[in-house]
């Protein structure tokens, strides 16, 4: 299978072939504020890649970090009158529950920067030993010009970077390009003891330390948003390879940005859409499908009508799932082969989604014509599962009271169980239909519809689902 490697900007064969162990590190969020649609895209993109690699037979170890100490978190915590750990804890929980609503699986390891201070300090010390970093006034900086390969990921040469206007100037740096590995604590900031005094890690170093701790000095796949290519990932390479002398990452994978009204979603500009809000309004699967319908590397323009469109498409999948429960049958091999072919080509999820809808139509048609679609249906479930399109069956517990009174209204025997209640009502309606008593049959259907329960008749019986 081929993947697009940002390092070299080429589609390359993923080696070794399965089965093999594969270490995968993805830059998780800096837990400073609520997740937005961009965070969701990255999480879903790499969750899908992880699921697919596993399906292909790889033994994947998936690490996604939480950066819980950083300048912006400190600032945000002060603004809200909270401690840094309190804010980080609250936002981590928000990210976790929001990602869960997108059916993003929990990572195998979810390391936090603040729990790896010893590893970070050790890595910095190694870089100092090797002459690639230097302490300065309580800070420690990385010597960019001391690392020969600097710029190989982002395609920037140190000399060209100098002309950029946004280089942070500091008397403490020997060179304007140098970046902080360790920052001396200012009054009121969180700090840890270090050989260079009280301080905290710089932004990039925690990913190097944690990735290497859990996945070794050379890791197979490293992912993140393409806005991290420079400087974050460029600096990770410099720090890691500077310390070990070995290649840090075999395959760099980057997802595209989510744009809003033609502009990138970003914390700094305030151009963003709250992820939890979008999930609340359209459902987690609609948001996930929205992501999957674009290739993970393409920019994705967000508009409300596009999520509504995705929600309608999810409805179709959901109706299909209700019509055909998971069968006890082998998945159609031809469908799986098509899936493998499009996904093997740098994770072609838009085509895979197209395939999924092909299967929906095919199985519906077969069933309509009296054939058994079990193999197609099984392929549908297998593929949907790999794409992370999972559907929770909705209960009726919140509708217990209205259902009981509705049952009583139609003279149906009831106990408190809402499912039994609904079944009784549907049985009553079936009798009405057999007696060609359309007013009663339609009234039951209309009243259930008002509760959000949709009743549909078909040749093979009556089905219901919540709207």
Partner RNA sequence: GGCGACGUGGCCGAGUGGUUAGGCGCGGGUCUGCAAAACCCGUUACCCCGGUUCAAUUCCGGGCGUCGCCUCCA
Q: Which is nearer to RNA, 123 or 229 (CB)?
A: 229
Q: Which is nearer to RNA, 60 or 238 (CB)?
A: 238
CB of 179 to RNA, least distance (A): 5
CB of 347 to RNA, least distance (A): 10
CB of 20 to RNA, least distance (A): 26
> Terminus-to-terminus CA distance in the chain, angstroms?
40
CB of 376 to RNA, least distance (A): 11
Q: Who contacts 308 (Cβ-Cβ below 8 Å, separation ≥6)?
A: 282, 286
Question: Which residue in 92, 225, 200, 215 sits closest to 140, CA to CA?
Answer: 200
Q: Which is nearer to RNA, 56 or 222 (CB)?
A: 222
Q: Which is nearer to RNA, 141 or 196 (CB)?
A: 141
CB of 401 to RNA, least distance (A): 25
Q: Which is nearer to RNA, 256 or 375 (CB)?
A: 256
Q: Which is nearer to RNA, 332 or 404 (CB)?
A: 332
CB of 143 to RNA, least distance (A): 12
Q: Which is nearer to RNA, 281 or 400 (CB)?
A: 281
Q: Which is nearer to RNA, 255 or 404 (CB)?
A: 255
Q: Which is nearer to RNA, 118 or 164 (CB)?
A: 164
CA distance 383 to 352: 8
Torsion, Cα 187 191 195 197, to 10 degrees, reads 10
Query: SS3 letters for 182-245?
Result: EEECCCCCCCECCCCCCEEECCCHHHHHHHHHHHCCCEEEEEEEHHHHHHHHHHHHHHHHHHHC
CB of 289 to RNA, least distance (A): 8
20: phi then psi, degrees, rounded to nearest 5: -160, 160
Encoded tokens for 384 = 């949907």
CB of 308 to RNA, least distance (A): 7
CB of 86 to RNA, least distance (A): 19
């Amino acid at each position: 299978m081929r993947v697009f490697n940002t390092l070299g900007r080429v589609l390359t064969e993923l080696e070794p072939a399965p089965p093999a162990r594969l270490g995968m590190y993805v830059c998780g969020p800096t837990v400073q504020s609520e997740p937005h649609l961009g965070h969701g895209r990255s999480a879903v993109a790499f969750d899908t890649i992880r699921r697919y690699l596993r399906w292909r037979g790889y033994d994947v170890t998936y690490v996604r970090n939480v950066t819980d100490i950083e300048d912006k978190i400190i600032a945000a915590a002060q603004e809200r009158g909270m401690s840094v750990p309190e804010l980080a804890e609250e936002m981590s929980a928000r990210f976790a529950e929001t990602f869960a609503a997108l059916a993003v699986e929990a990572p195998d390891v979810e390391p936090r920067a603040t729990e790896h201070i010893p590893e970070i300090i050790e890595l910095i010390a190694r870089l100092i030993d090797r002459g690639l970093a230097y302490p300065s006034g309580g800070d420690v900086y990385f010597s960019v010009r001391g690392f020969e390969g600097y710029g190989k990921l982002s395609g920037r040469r140190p000399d060209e970077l100098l002309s950029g206007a946004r280089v942070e100037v500091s008397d403490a740096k020997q060179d304007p390009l140098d970046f902080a590995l360790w920052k001396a604590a200012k009054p009121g900031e969180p700090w840890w003891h270090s050989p260079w005094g009280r301080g905290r890690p710089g932004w990039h170093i925690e990913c190097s330390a944690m990735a290497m701790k859990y996945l070794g000095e050379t890791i197979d796949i490293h992912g993140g948003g393409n806005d991290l290519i420079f400087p974050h990932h460029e600096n990770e390479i410099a720090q890691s390879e500077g310390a070990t002398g070995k290649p840090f990452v075999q395959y760099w994978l980057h997802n595209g940005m989510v744009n809003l009204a033609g502009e990138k979603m970003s914390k700094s500009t305030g151009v963003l859409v709250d992820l939890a809000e979008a999930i609340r309004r359209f459902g987690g699967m609609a948001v996930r499908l929205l992501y999957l319908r674009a290739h993970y590397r393409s920019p994705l323009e967000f508009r409300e009508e596009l999520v509504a469109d995705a929600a309608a498409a999810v409805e179709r999948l959901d109706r299909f799932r209700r019509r055909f429960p998971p069968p006890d049958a082998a998945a159609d091999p031809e469908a799986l082969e098509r899936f493998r072919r499009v996904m093997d080509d740098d994770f072609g999820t838009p085509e895979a989604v197209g395939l999924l809808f092909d299967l929906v139509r095919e199985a519906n048609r077969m069933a309509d014509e009296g054939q058994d679609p079990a193999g197609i249906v099984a392929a549908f479930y297998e593929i949907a599962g790999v794409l992370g399109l999972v559907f929770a069956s909705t209960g009726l517990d919140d509708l217990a009271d209205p259902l009981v009174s509705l049952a009583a209204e139609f003279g149906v025997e009831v106990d408190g169980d809402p499912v039994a209640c609904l079944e009784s009502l549907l049985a009553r309606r079936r009798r009405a239909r057999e007696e060609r008593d359309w007013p009663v049959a339609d009234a039951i259907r209309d009243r259930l519809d008002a509760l959000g329960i949709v009743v549909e008749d078909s040749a093979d019986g009556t089905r219901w689902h919540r709207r």
